[in-house]
C-alpha cells in the first residue's frame, strides 16, 4: 500500500509542470491572489489574511479546483483519532505471525473490525502500550483486516505496560488507549529519516522547548500544564473553524517564524478537515522555538507548495524531498519531508 503511484492525471500534470521552468512568482494570479501549479487542480491562497496568523504561525490554505473534487475517487476515510474511539478498532504491541521475529518496539499490530477504512498518517502519535509510539508511514487499514505496521518510539524512558496495576491479561494484550495528535514537524522529519535515535533527539528538543520534559521522556508530556501549553491551546482555539467556510480546502502550508515548517495536502476536503486539529497541534508545538514574529512573504510558502506538487512524482525515482501516499488510483496525502 505504501508509496503506490499517484493518481495518473496528477502525475501527468506534475511532469508537464516540471517542463515549464517558470519561476515561483510567475505563478501568482494578482486578481485572485492564489499561486497555482498550472492545471494540477491545486492552488495556494497567498492573500494577506490576518485570520490565518497567530503570533509567529501562519497558515496558507491549499485549495482544490472543482474539477479535481468532482473526479475524486477517494473513499471516505476515518482518521486514527476517530478510529481509536470506535468499537472494533484496536492497536496493540506487535503480535508475531508465524516464525517472523522483529524488534518489538518498531512494530505494532492494528486490528480493524469496524466497517470503515482508517487512514494512518506518518506522525500520528498513540499512547499506552509498553511505550508511546509514532506511526512511521502513511497507510490505510481496511475493514475486517489485521496488519502489522512500522512505528518509532517517542517515549525513551519506558518499556513496560503503561498501567502497572492492570491485570496480567491486559498487560499481555498491551493495547494503546489514547491518541495524541500529529507530532511536530521536527519529530516528523526524524520519522521520515527512519532513525530511532533521531526521533528521540527530536522529541527531546520539542519537549524541552515547550517546558515539558518528563521522567519517561515522552512526547505526550506536552500535556504538562504550563505557559507553553496555554499558548498552544490558544493557537488551537484561534484556528478553530477557520477553514469551515472553505469547502474546497484540502491542505495547508504552515510557516513559523518566517520559515516553512510543513506542507500537507490531502486527497479530499473532508479528510483534511478531520485531520486538521491534530495536524495543527504539531505546528503549534513548533512555535515554542521562537517568540519573534517575522514577515512571511507569500512567495516563501508558494515555493514550498510548488515543490511538493511538482516533485511528488519524483519520489518514486529516489528524490525524497517530498512524500506521497495513494490508495489505488486516488492520491491520499502529499507532504514535505
| Among 28-32, 87-91, 322-326, the range of highest mean pLDDT | 87-91
In this prediction, residue 197 has a pLDDT band, given cuts at 50, 70 and 90, of very high
Which range is least confidently modeled, 17-21, 32-36, 59-63, 194-198?
17-21
In this prediction, residue 96 has a pLDDT band, given cuts at 50, 70 and 90, of low
Mean pLDDT to the nearest integer, 224-241: 96
Check residues 19 and 139 and name the one with the higher pLDDT. 139
pLDDT at position 30 over 70: no
Residue 329 is predicted with a pLDDT of 84
Q: How far apart are CA 49 and CA 34, in angstroms?
A: 12
Tell me if 96 sits within 8 A of 276, measured CB to CB: no
Longest Cα separation, the chain: 65
Tell me if 280 sits within 8 A of 239, measured CB to CB: yes
pLDDT at position 192 over 90: yes
Give the CA distances from residue 265 to residues 43, 120, 199, 309, in Å, rounded to whole numbers and listed in that order: 11, 15, 23, 9
Provide the total of helices (H) and of strands (E) in the chain, helices listed first.
9, 18
The helix/strand/coil state of 213 is coil
DSSP state letters, 111-162? EE-SSS-EEE-TTEEEEETTS-EEE-S-EEE-TTEEEEEEEEESBTT--S-S
Q: What is the dihedral of CA 335, 270, 78, 274, to 10 degrees?
A: 80
Q: How far apart are CA 216 and CA 329, in angstroms?
A: 42
Instruction: Give the HSE-up count for residue 63: Cα atoms under 13 Å, Cβ half-sphere.
Output: 20
Q: What is the dihedral of CA 250, 144, 110, 286, to 10 degrees?
A: 10
Residue 268 is predicted with a pLDDT of 95
Per the prediction, the chain carries an average pLDDT of 85
Which range is least confidently modeled, 18-32, 133-147, 240-254?
18-32
- Per DSSP bridges, beta strands 57-64 and 78-79 are unpaired
pLDDT at position 175 over 50: yes
Q: What is the pLDDT of residues 253-299, one digit of tens each?
A: 999 988 999 999 999 999 999 999 999 999 999 999 987 777 667 88
pLDDT above 90 as % of the chain:
70
Amino acid at each position: 500500500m505504501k508509496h503506490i503511484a499517484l493518481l495518473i492525471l496528477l502525475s501527468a500534470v506534475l511532469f508537464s509542470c516540471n517542463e515549464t521552468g517558470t519561476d515561483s512568482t510567475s505563478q501568482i494570479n494578482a486578481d485572485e491572489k492564489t499561486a497555482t501549479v498550472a492545471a494540477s487542480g491545486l492552488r495556494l491562497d497567498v492573500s494577506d489574511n490576518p485570520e490565518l496568523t497567530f503570533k509567529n504561525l501562519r497558515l496558507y490554505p491549499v485549495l482544490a479546483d472543482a474539477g479535481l473534487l468532482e473526479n475524486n475517487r477517494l473513499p471516505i476515510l476515518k482518521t486514527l483519532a476517530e478510529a481509536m474511539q470506535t468499537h472494533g478498532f484496536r492497536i496493540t504491541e506487535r503480535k508475531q505471525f508465524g516464525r517472523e521475529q522483529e524488534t518489538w518496539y518498531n512494530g505494532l499490530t492494528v486490528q480493524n473490525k469496524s466497517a470503515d477504512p482508517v487512514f494512518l498518517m506518518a506522525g500520528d502519535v498513540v499512547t499506552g502500550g509498553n511505550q508511546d509510539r509514532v506511526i512511521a508511514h502513511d497507510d490505510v487499514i481496511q475493514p475486517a483486516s489485521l496488519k502489522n505496521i512500522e512505528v518509532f518510539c517517542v517515549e525513551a524512558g519506558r518499556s513496560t505496560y503503561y498501567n502497572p496495576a492492570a491485570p496480567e491479561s491486559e498487560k499481555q494484550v498491551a493495547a494503546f488507549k489514547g491518541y495524541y495528535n500529529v507530532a511536530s514537524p521536527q519529530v516528523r522529519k526524524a520519522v521520515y529519516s527512519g532513525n530511532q535515535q533521531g526521533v528521540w533527539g527530536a522529541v527531546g528538543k520539542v519537549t524541552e522547548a515547550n517546558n515539558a520534559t518528563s521522567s519517561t521522556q515522552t512526547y505526550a508530556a506536552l500535556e504538562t500544564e504550563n505557559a507553553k501549553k496555554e499558548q498552544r491551546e490558544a493557537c488551537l482555539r484561534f484556528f478553530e473553524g477557520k477553514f469551515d467556510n472553505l469547502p474546497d480546502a484540502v491542505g495547508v502550508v504552515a510557516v513559523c517564524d518566517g520559515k516553512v515548517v510543513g506542507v500537507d495536502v490531502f486527497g479530499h476536503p473532508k479528510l483534511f478537515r478531520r485531520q486538521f486539529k491534530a495536524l495543527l497541534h504539531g505546528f503549534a508545538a513548533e512555535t515554542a522555538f521562537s517568540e519573534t514574529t517575522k514577515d512571511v512573504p507569500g512567495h516563501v510558502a508558494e515555493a514550498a507548495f510548488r515543490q511538493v506538487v511538482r516533485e511528488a512524482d519524483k519520489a518514486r525515482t529516489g528524490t525524497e524531498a517530498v512524500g506521497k501516499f495513494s490508495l489505488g488510483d486516488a492520491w491520499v496525502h502529499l507532504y514535505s519531508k
